Amino acid sequence: MATPHSVAFHTLGCKLNYAESSTLSQQIQDQGFDIVDFNNGADVCVINTCSVTEFADKKCRQVVRRAKRLNPSAKIVVIGCYAQLKPTEISEIPEVDMVLGAAEKFNLVKHIANLSNISEGTLVKATEVKDANTFIEAYSFGNRTRSFLKVQDGCDYKCTFCTIPQARGKSRSGTIPTIIKTANEIVQKGGKEIVLTGVNIGDFGNGTAVIEGVKPKKEALFIDLIKSLDKEIEGIERFRISSIEPNLCTDEIISFVAESNRFVPHFHMPLQSGNNKQLRIMKRRYKKELYQDRVNSIRKVMPNACIGVDVIVGFPGETDEDFLETYNFINQLDINYLHVFTFSERNNTPAAQMEDVVPMEKRRKRNEMLTLLSKKKKKAFYQKYIGTEATILVEQGSKEGWMTGFSENYLKVELPLDESFQNKLVNVQLTELSEEGVLVGSQITS
């Protein structure tokens, strides 16, 4: 193969992956490569993978084959969580040319330059996850008005269903000065909203240096970070917290967001189960009573806040009664939408070896029930705002003739197409709820 000229990215999974893909893409472009759309085919296709569920693994294999169909001569490079967890398995996919693990993916530029030296077989570079022990800065920018800013990586929690510590290593963070510097880069590129992201961002403050297995004491906390961003960054209209553990979502954080003019009233807190027995088996660090307390604390100071919830159905040992308790708990919670995950056995996790396995048919049925509950709650939340005014940060929509944007409290709104609105805050009147479940707005003219 001649030296590649064009590179395409396809990113699967979380906001953190998008932030890292965007930064790697910029690094590659700075070295003289052309970054092209994945669907146009490229000399090299980089697939940044997720491995939260078995479906995520299957999705990776589908994307690999699709990339090869788009350009049969393309070189395929797989990076990300799946690449760290199962490098040998990926290397056995015939279309794959290179696999880079958690530490190696940040040397992507060098590896792509050396692709022409691979004559046959698949090159695998995936060391032990303990080698991924430094914090690499990243943020997304491109077509999005919102920029995902990585502030933390890895996780020290031991949830029995989760592979993330195996895929990303120990919890580690950037420093406040470096994050401030990166946020200012986003300002210079015209960004209007920054979404703080990571694996466990509430655990912000862990250092990167480990001496004799002991981490240094935290020099700063998440509350210190958000206060610094709010005080020091000019030019950003909104800051948004992507997801935070309920046990780390302190009253101090909640009060600060309520008082801030730029940190928006939107919280996403993983619950996983509304049954304390299940939470204990999952090794979550709270009981459902604490979760209820966190929701109540948010509602007390931010009645219009949007609150999202992650929940897992079909975890081993979840009886019909346990699930019903979870359903009823969520039903009475004053929250606004759910991300529902069907439990998926992951290799090398304690949950994969547990007894009392829930049949897949039951898992799917429970998923359907909670998905319907989510739609009901989201619709009720949206309907409250029909006839009111909102400020929307406008993005380029995917539906012909329309643009989309989000309010501070995460209401998705469609507006008639007007290119002058893009990446701007627009005051709108919310007139109706579309068949797709999106609010329709019209600009308020002075």
Overall fold of domain 146-383: pyruvate-formate lyase- activating enzyme (3.80.30)
> Along the chain (446 residues), what's the average pLDDT of each consecutive run of 10 residues?
75 88 90 88 89 75 88 90 88 89 88 74 82 88 82 94 91 93 94 95 76 60 96 95 96 97 97 97 97 98 98 97 98 98 92 95 97 98 96 84 93 91 92 93 82
The pLDDT assigned to 50 comes to 85
Residues 6+ apart with CB under 8 A from 202: 222, 244, 245, 247, 248, 249, 253
Structure tokens at 7: 């590179």
Structure tokens at 236: 């950003």
Strand-strand pairing, 337-342 and 389-395: unpaired
Ramachandran category for residue 60: left, alpha or beta (phi over 0 → left; psi -120 to 50 → alpha): alpha
- Where along the chain do its domains lie? 6-127, 146-383, 389-443
> Rounded distance, CA 362 to CA 342, Å?
10
Structure tokens at 51: 């491995």
The pLDDT assigned to 209 comes to 46
The pLDDT assigned to 390 comes to 96
SS3 label, residue 353 = helix
The pLDDT assigned to 127 comes to 83
pTM exceeds 0.75: yes
Class of domain 6-127: alpha beta
Q: Is there a shared CATH topology between the 6-127 domain and the 146-383 domain?
A: no
The pLDDT assigned to 110 comes to 87
The pLDDT assigned to 45 comes to 93
Q: State the chain's maximal CA–CA distance in angstroms.
A: 66
Q: What homologous superfamily is domain 389-443 in, according to CATH?
A: Nucleic acid-binding proteins (2.40.50.140)
Tell me how far the alpha carbon of residue 243 is from its chain's centroid. 8
The pLDDT assigned to 203 comes to 94
